[in-house]
Amino acid sequence: MESKKVSQKLLSRLPLYLNYLKGLPEWVVDVSATKIASALNLGDVLVRKDLAKISDGGRRKLGYERSSLIRDIEEFLDVNSTTCAVIVGAGKLGQALLDYNGFEKSGLRILAGFDIHPSVQKTDGGKPLYSMARLESFCHCYDVRIGIITVPAEFAQDACNSLVDCGIEAIWNFSPAHLRVPDHVVVQSENLAVSLTSLRMQLKNRS
Amino acid sequence: MESKKVSQKLLSRLPLYLNYLKGLPEWVVDVSATKIASALNLGDVLVRKDLAKISDGGRRKLGYERSSLIRDIEEFLDVNSTTCAVIVGAGKLGQALLDYNGFEKSGLRILAGFDIHPSVQKTDGGKPLYSMARLESFCHCYDVRIGIITVPAEFAQDACNSLVDCGIEAIWNFSPAHLRVPDHVVVQSENLAVSLTSLRMQLKNRS
């Protein structure tokens, strides 16, 4: 299917669909938008429209063939190409992300961690940790396009500036800082305090 | 201001506003919705409506007094009460979250980590790690209401069931698994693969 421009929100739902489809028992051959919607607590119409945008395989009453739908979503998400990343901030969170194997399935290869003073030379999983002085040559040498920031908030903007100076095009920010970047750089922030507050408020509204 | 029911989306923006307001230089006394909106790349009208829902302090042309707005948001978010949590999964991510001090500011105190076989008895930061056998008595003794899951996907549902059996009312899920819980339990999932895919697609659409 020809690639179309789709919304960020749709993009964020596709990995959920993929995760659900892959997690179904092996004997499940066909799957409907309604079933996916109900399993993921999403609207029926929303899922139907999403799937129609990325796959031609929908059949009246039968729904989608599971394996084709998985293939269509994966093609759309381009999971078979790999983007290289580095992490700035080699503390526990940085090392946890470096050693997490699950990102490769989503097309991300995290090559190394960088820190002002790395306390060790390798993570438990064997990923190298370097001093910041090596960041620029490393990024150029390995065509690194994504920089992941896991330093404390007060150092995050500096880390971000260093990555941008090295030609990084996308920042995945795990610090709570609000980062300023040039227009050509994409930022995605994982603000855990925001998620946490949302969870606490849901808890409060229920009790 | 009287507490009102507000949308999840508004709830998720309040910590962003708070973060921004607290990060402004000390000499900034007044702040307008327009300024906040522009700094956070949000719509002007949206921010204006959000703030009007949680604070009475808006003044025509002057905007809000910064300190009052911070106080109103904090009261609304109930950050001065504390909810206790435990983590199931004492690997690197679990230990990183246990030792991260920033959550206390958002009203979460993570008391301890639990694992089938904890490799050490304490984190570097001094938080205790226990075997799963102690989970139930610990949760009852300390009135734990939130359970954080940092085990691999294949063990996540078991961890979730154990937490629900211990009377936990909210699950903060860091595994990529889709969890099934009873109706009275709230789940918030941090699906990093979803964020990552969204970042990669933004990168792709730009290039």
Over residues A166-187, the pLDDT tens digits come to: 999 999 999 877 788 998 999 9
User: What is the token pair recorded at A168?
Assistant: 């990084």
Which of B157, B56, B193, B165 lies closest to A190, judged by CA?
B193
Lowest mean pLDDT among A7-11, A71-75, A92-96: A7-11
Q: Determine the Cα–Cα distance for residues A82 and A104; give it in Å rounded to an integer.
A: 8
Q: Determine the Cα–Cα distance for residues A33 and A17; give it in Å rounded to an integer.
A: 10
User: What is the token pair recorded at B12?
Assistant: 């998720």
Among B residues 145-164, those touching chain A with beta carbons less than 8 Å apart: 145-146, 153
pLDDT in tens, chain B (207 residues): 444 567 767 877 888 898 889 888 889 999 999 999 988 878 899 999 999 999 998 888 889 999 999 999 988 888 788 899 999 999 888 988 898 877 887 788 999 999 998 888 999 889 999 999 999 999 999 999 999 999 988 899 999 999 999 999 999 999 877 788 998 999 888 878 777 887 888 887 776
**Pick from A19, A79, A197: which is nearest to B106 by CB?**
A197
Among A residues 43-72, those touching chain B with beta carbons less than 8 Å apart: none
pLDDT at B5: 64
Over residues A81-140, the pLDDT tens digits come to: 889 999 999 988 898 889 887 788 778 899 999 999 888 899 988 999 999 999 999 999
B170–A contact, CB cutoff 8 A: yes
Q: Which domains does chain B have, with CATH numbers?
A: 8-77 (1.10.10.10), 83-194 (3.40.50.720)
Query: How many residues in total does chain A contain?
Result: 207
Q: Which residue of A has its CA nearest to B9?
A: A198
Rounded to the nearest angstrom, the minimum Cα separation between B15 and chain A is: 6
Instruction: Please judge whether A77 and B102 are an interchain contact, meaning their C-beta atoms are less than 8 angstroms apart.
Output: no
Residues in contact with B171: Cβ distance below 8 Å, sequence separation at least 6, in sequence order: B146, B147, B148, B149, B160, B163, B164, B179, B181, B185, B186, B187, B188
Q: What is the pTM of this model?
A: 0.74
Rounded to the nearest angstrom, the minimum Cα separation between A89 and chain B is: 13
